[in-house]
Chain A
Amino acid sequence: MKVQISYNLFQRSVLLKYKGSSCGFHQSTILRTDSEGKQNSKGKENSTGSQRDKVSAAKTKSKTDRANIKKEAAVPHSAKLEAAQKRLQALLKEFPQEETIETKINLVRPKSKLQKKKADKISAIEAAAKGVADVLKGSNEKDAVKQELLARVQVAERGLPAYDKEELLGAITGLKARVRQEEENKRKAEEAIKAKEVEKAAAVKQKFGEKKGDEGKKFERRAGAYQAGKTRLFEAEPLGIFIDSQGKPILTPSGLKSGMATWDAAKERALQMCVLSLPANGFEEMIQWTEQGKLWKFPIDNEYGLEEEHNVGFHEHIFLEPHLEPWCPKSGPVRHFMELVCVGLSKNPWLTIEEKKRHILWFKDYFTEKIDLLKETHAVDEAAADQLTKPLEIEQ
């Protein structure tokens, strides 16, 4: 921004002269403003120097003017005007005309600090690098050195190496190659270690395997744990968890048996629940119950469960004395008792024939137990006793 300071100075000085004593305006302030403007500017030294001289001149003049003012206080108005005009003219001559001073005024604007920094750094360091490169003139390595320097500088400052495409690719492939190599090295190292261990184990085994008895076995077990090459899964003896003593697998209808009875039962039940279809409605429920025997079959028949008795005739139920014949004495208290029993059974509609037979034959066994007592009490004589105790022939 170009500012015509001379004119401003002139104006102020003029104002001073006019106002001087009355306003009491201090001259030093004006001078300060002028000096500030000059400091900011990056103008020529000559101009600044000249200005300073003029300022000092203005200072002195202003002082002289003060004195003059006091003198002229008594002078009338027209004379004052003339004097002023003269002074104006003199001043105009002294000041350089149409001198424009370019000043840079720092207006407040957003500036990126990074850019500023980078700009600064690049400018400084790159220039240095270039200088160094220039020193090595004439050699073929110049460009290479320069590039290297530049690259390193850039890496240091920005953190971004300026690679060419080819360089990048080369770097990547180089990386890959490096990684592969490293992996291979690792593998080799591991293999070497393994091989060493195997050798050790073999050596130990050899050494101690020759010992007889338990010690040799011990070392066999320890040293032979790792064997290079295959792993053998099915060569060891089976533990026999799921096999019977006979070698058959322990199987429940659902699967393998565990040693826990409750667990097995619960498992079976769970599987049955999965398979069984629960009754969808009341009819199905009643069918289930009837099959289980919880529900009577309708229409109600008193002889449900006694279907075989239909085939048996009533004479077998009533005439039970044939069952007494082989063993029971023909007279005496025993006979009397047994006939009563038969009468009672013949009148019983609820027992089956088998049950009646059993009933009668039980008494035979009971009396054979108590035969001694019966003999003592003379309920049974000797012959009858023999007949009683005689075991029945199995009739088929």
Chain B
Amino acid sequence: MIKDNKRRQCVKNHFEERIRHLAVKKATVLPPELQAVAAKEVEEKFPRDASYIRVVNRCSVTSRPRGTVERYRLSRIVWRHLADYNKLSSVQKAIW
């Protein structure tokens, strides 16, 4: 959980610049030399954790990396537990 927190902090600090460099890197309109330079800069200038892809939305209760319901920020197990005890608003057992 702490690692994830660090990554989020890194993203907060560097992502703005990194995405601009990325935009230059991916812009086929611009000359390829410039693209290459931009690509190189993206790799060297910024830490890898500056990418938001590396951030994981963990469960708030159990810190489970997989199976999270994003709206509630909970893992499926915790989500189901709360739903069974009627703690989640407007959540109901599906029947049709």
A residues contacting B by CB (< 8 A) are: 333-334, 336-337, 340-341, 359, 362-363, 366, 370, 373-374, 376-377, 379
Contact = CB atoms under 8 A, between A and B. Distances in A.
Contact of B34 (A340, A359, A362, A373): A373
B61 interface: no
Contacts of B31: 333, 373-374, 377, 379
A333 B30 contact: yes
Interface of B: 17, 20, 23-24, 27, 29-31, 33-34, 37
Contacts of A374: 31, 34
Nearest to A355: B16
A295 B17 CA distance: 31
Contacts of B23: 341
Contacts of A340: 27, 29
A370 B27 contact: no
B33 A336 contact: no
Contacts of A379: 30-31, 34
B contact patch SS: helix
Nearest to A336: B29
Contacts of B29: 333, 336-337, 340
A341 B30 CA distance: 13
A366 B33 contact: no
Residue in B17, B27, B30, B33 with the greatest tally of chain A CB atoms within 10 Å:
B30
A363 B30 contact: no
A373 B33 CA distance: 8
Contacts of B34: 370, 373-374, 377, 379
A300 to B, nearest CB: 11
B33 A362 contact: no
Given A337-B27, A340-B27, A377 B33 contact: yes
A373 B20 contact: no
Contacts of A359: 20
A287 B27 CA distance: 49
B20 A363 contact: yes
26 contacts: A333-B29, A333-B30, A333-B31, A334-B30, A337-B24, A337-B27, A337-B29, A337-B30, A340-B27, A340-B29, A359-B20, A362-B17, A363-B20, A366-B20, A366-B24, A370-B34, A370-B37, A373-B31, A373-B33, A373-B34, A373-B37, A374-B31, A374-B34, A377-B33, A379-B30, A379-B31
A341 B20 CA distance: 10
A376 B32 CA distance: 12
A362 B30 contact: no
A362 B37 contact: no
B88 to A, nearest CB: 15
A366 B17 CA distance: 11
Nearest to B20: A362
A366 B42 CA distance: 13
The 3 closest A-B pairs by CB, nearest first: A377-B31, A336-B29, A379-B31
